[in-house]
């Protein structure tokens, strides 16, 4: 242990601790901007400077390690002035259109200006030449707001193993951008949106599709239906002041009906349907020597990553479309027929924790109903904005149920929202289909949790099924390299692009670096997802009565010709 004093207060911390962490331990907040714990610890922005007795200059607390007998001062006139100068210089080159910024009131730069008591900006002059890039279907870059903190760069390179954005040029001309200042749409960005979650300001945001949805809602000709992804029910409440991971499953239908949707359905229904198809696809590949390991295909960021970086695994991908897309295809065929509605009049909106879903719904493969199966995708953040604009307070909504039939689901559908959930849901069904026996314990805890790569062996009818789960694309890389190099062998792999799975999706509520410092928000939301599952009366996809009815009335059986036509696809390099 190391003993030091911070502003005269004694503190004892383990060796290797930074001054920033030591200060937090005694409840002292040193301001930061480029720092993002575990992801971007580079001491670049100089916002966290402190005085260390005996040191020649002010030191960046986020990277300065403690040492025995050290005396640190966090609140001297020199420290305060240095931080203010740094902040004012940043503001002098910043687009200060705060009231119209998507991050207004949730911006770390704005908050620092308030906390440091900035009353005016002493420096004026030229601003850097900015670029607004909105060609991607998912992500918008606005460098007029970028403060060059590099949090997005580290996230894209290290957390996602993608690395398509970097600082280009030098000095005043420095700009975080794809190579040759191309658009994100022109490079191998996978649309995961993790860079947005890392951005402290409004330099990165989702492509806003709220206008499209407002228009549809106002159109009397349109039958506007909405589906809600599993992970949204444990995150939307955060935007309305409810706690992290608050479960708002039943408040969502009430709020969305008041916003004007004609029917409120559930992607969990699509997830149960996916399990029926994917579970049987797995069994078929297992029994008939098909390509293994089977790899899940419901995360569109992961699909794009596979296409760009691991095309040799494309044949391993499940041919199943994602639950969002299965839902869309079923809505514009089966549901349209059942309700006697012209499918051209149905407008399908998805509310997703994901930015890549905006891209997925526009893929040419996703039109098996004869129309674009899903018309618009809103992130959790966008639907929160629409509800606020309409004066609907989610927190004050009564409990209401989803509509039938596409709103009926099981706990297995819900757990899709957390890493390991698709695998667990599949195992619940595969086990019972193969053995004909009821599972004694339906919770496959070996595939749960925050570890980057998880492995388990499940015995089904005497056969040992080896499974693996990866979340976050840098972890996917590690896992796939091991399979490629024959260092590991599996039958079934789940990959989700975002760390934590969809609960940590790039469209979810954004936490500041400060809030992320000692809270694992993904684990909190993940635990909430498992609680949703525990409370469901039905917890296995094959028990979903609405899915059973869909097979009886329309699809026939899993992997039928009709299922293939509507619910499956193929990805080619």
Residue ranges that bind ligand HC0, judged by CB under 6 A:
229-231, 267, 270-271, 298-299, 322-324, 352-354, 357, 416-417, 422, 501-502, 505
Closest CA to 165 of 137, 130, 193: 193
**Is there a catalytic annotation at residue 360?**
yes
| In the complex, minimum distance from the CB of residue 325 to ligand SF4, in angstroms, rounded to a whole number | 20
DSSP-assigned states of every residue in 97-117: -GGGSTTTTS-HHHHHHHHTT
Quick count: other Cβ atoms within 10 Å of Cβ 135?
13
Which of 156, 299, 502, 540 is labelled catalytic? 502
Residue closer to ligand HC0 (CB basis): 293 or 421: 421
Binding residue for ligand SF4 (CB under 6 A) from 156, 326, 425, 480? 156
Would you count residue 316 as binding ligand SF4 (CB under 6 A)?
A: no
In the chain, how many H helices and how many E strands? 20, 18
Residue closer to ligand SF4 (CB basis): 17 or 475: 475
User: What SS3 string covers 438-499?
Assistant: CCCCCCCHHHCCCCCEEEEEEEECCEEEEEEEEECHHHHHHHHHHHHCCCCCCCEEEEECCC
Which of 51, 108, 239, 281 is labelled catalytic? 281
Measured CA distances, 242 to 193, 197, 236, 239, 381 (Å): 24, 19, 9, 7, 14
Would you count residue 495 as binding ligand SF4 (CB under 6 A)?
A: no
Which H/E stretch holds residue 400? none
**Is there a catalytic annotation at residue 221?**
no
| In the complex, minimum distance from the CB of residue 135 to ligand SF4, in angstroms, rounded to a whole number | 13
**Is there a catalytic annotation at residue 278?**
yes
Binding residue for ligand SF4 (CB under 6 A) from 192, 246, 366, 376? 192
Are 417 and 234 in contact, with CB atoms under 8 Å apart? yes
Residue closer to ligand HC0 (CB basis): 17 or 194: 194
Alpha carbon distance 97, 539 (integer Å): 48
Binding residue for ligand SF4 (CB under 6 A) from 36, 49, 107, 195? 195
Binding residue for ligand SF4 (CB under 6 A) from 106, 143, 191, 419? 191
Q: Where are the beta strands (DSSP E) in 85-165?
A: 132-133, 139-142
| In the complex, minimum distance from the CB of residue 297 to ligand HC0, in angstroms, rounded to a whole number | 8
Alpha carbon distance 23, 204 (integer Å): 30
| In the complex, minimum distance from the CB of residue 197 to ligand SF4, in angstroms, rounded to a whole number | 9
**Is there a catalytic annotation at residue 320?**
no
Are 64 and 53 in contact, with CB atoms under 8 Å apart? no
Binding residue for ligand SF4 (CB under 6 A) from 22, 139, 376, 480? 139
Alpha carbon distance 461, 536 (integer Å): 27
Residue closer to ligand HC0 (CB basis): 359 or 490: 359
Residue 422 binding: pick among ligand HC0, ligand SF4, none (C-beta 5-8 Å cut-off by kind): ligand HC0
CA dihedral over 513, 519, 520, 521, signed as positive or negative: negative
**What is the set of active-site residues?**
278, 281, 298, 318, 357, 360, 365, 502
Q: Which residues bind ligand SF4 (CB under 6 A)?
A: 139, 155-156, 160, 162, 164-165, 184, 189-195
């Amino acid at each position: 242990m190391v003993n030091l004093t911070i502003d005269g207060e004694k503190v004892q911390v383990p060796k290797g601790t930074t001054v920033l962490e030591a200060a937090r331990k005694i409840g002292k907040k040193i301001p930061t901007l480029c720092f993002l714990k575990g992801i971007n610890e580079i001491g670049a922005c100089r916002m966290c400077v402190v005085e260390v007795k005996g040191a020649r200059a002010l030191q960046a607390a986020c990277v300065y390690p403690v040492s025995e007998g050290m005396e640190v001062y966090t609140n001297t006139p020199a420290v305060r002035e240095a931080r203010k100068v740094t902040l004012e210089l940043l503001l002098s080159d910043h687009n200060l259109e705060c009231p119209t910024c998507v991050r207004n009131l949730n911006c770390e730069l704005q908050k620092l200006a308030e906390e440091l008591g900035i009353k005016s900006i002493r420096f004026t002059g030229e601003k850097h030449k900015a670029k607004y890039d909105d060609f991607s279907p998912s992500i918008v870059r606005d460098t007029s707001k970028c403060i060059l903190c590099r949090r997005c760069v580290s996230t894209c390179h290290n957390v996602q193993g993608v690395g398509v954005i970097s600082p280009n040029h030098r000095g005043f001309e420095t700009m975080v951008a794809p190579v040759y200042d191309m658009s994100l749409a022109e490079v191998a960005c996978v649309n995961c949106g993790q860079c947005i979650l890392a951005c402290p300001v409004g330099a990165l945001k989702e492509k806003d599709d709220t206008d499209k949805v407002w228009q549809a809602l106002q159109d009397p000709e349109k039958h506007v239906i909405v589906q809600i992804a599993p992970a949204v029910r444990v995150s939307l409440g955060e935007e309305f002041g409810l706690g992290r991971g608050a479960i708002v499953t039943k408040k969502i239908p009430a709020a969305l009906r008041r916003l004007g949707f004609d029917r409120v359905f559930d992607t969990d229904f699509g997830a149960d349907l996916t399990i029926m198809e994917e579970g049987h696809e797995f069994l078929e590949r297992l029994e008939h020597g098909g390509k293994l390991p089977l790899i899940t295909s419901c995360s569109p960021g992961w699909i794009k990553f596979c296409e760009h970086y691991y095309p040799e695994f494309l044949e391993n991908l499940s041919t199943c479309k994602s639950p969002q897309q299965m839902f869309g295809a079923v809505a514009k065929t089966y549901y349209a027929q059942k309700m006697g509605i012209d499918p051209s009049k149905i407008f399908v909106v998805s509310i997703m924790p994901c930015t890549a879903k905006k891209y997925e719904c526009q893929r040419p493969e996703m039109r098996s109903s004869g129309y674009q199966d899903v018309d618009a995708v809103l992130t959790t953040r966008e639907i929160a904005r629409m509800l606020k604009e309409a004066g609907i307070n989610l927190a004050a909504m009564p409990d209401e149920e989803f509509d039938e039939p596409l709103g009926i689901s099981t706990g297995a559908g819900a757990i899709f929202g957390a890493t390991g959930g698709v695998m667990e849901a599949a195992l619940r069904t595969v086990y019972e289909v193969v053995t004909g026996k009821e599972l004694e314990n339906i919770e496959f805890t070996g595939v749960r949790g925050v570890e980057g790569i998880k492995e388990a062996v499940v015995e089904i009818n005497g056969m040992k099924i080896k499974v693996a789960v990866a979340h976050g694309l840098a972890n996917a890389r590690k896992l796939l390299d091991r399979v490629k190099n024959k260092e590991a062998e599996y039958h079934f792999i789940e990959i989700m692009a975002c760390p934590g799975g969809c609960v940590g999706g790039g469209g979810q509520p954004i936490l500041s670096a400060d809030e992320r410092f000692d809270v694992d928000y993904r684990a909190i939301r993940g635990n909430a997802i498992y609680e949703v599952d525990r409370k469901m009366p039905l917890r296995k996809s094959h028990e979903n009565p609405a899915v059973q009815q869909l097979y009886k009335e329309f699809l026939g059986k899993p992997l039928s010709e009709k299922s293939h036509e509507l619910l499956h696809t193929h990805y080619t390099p």
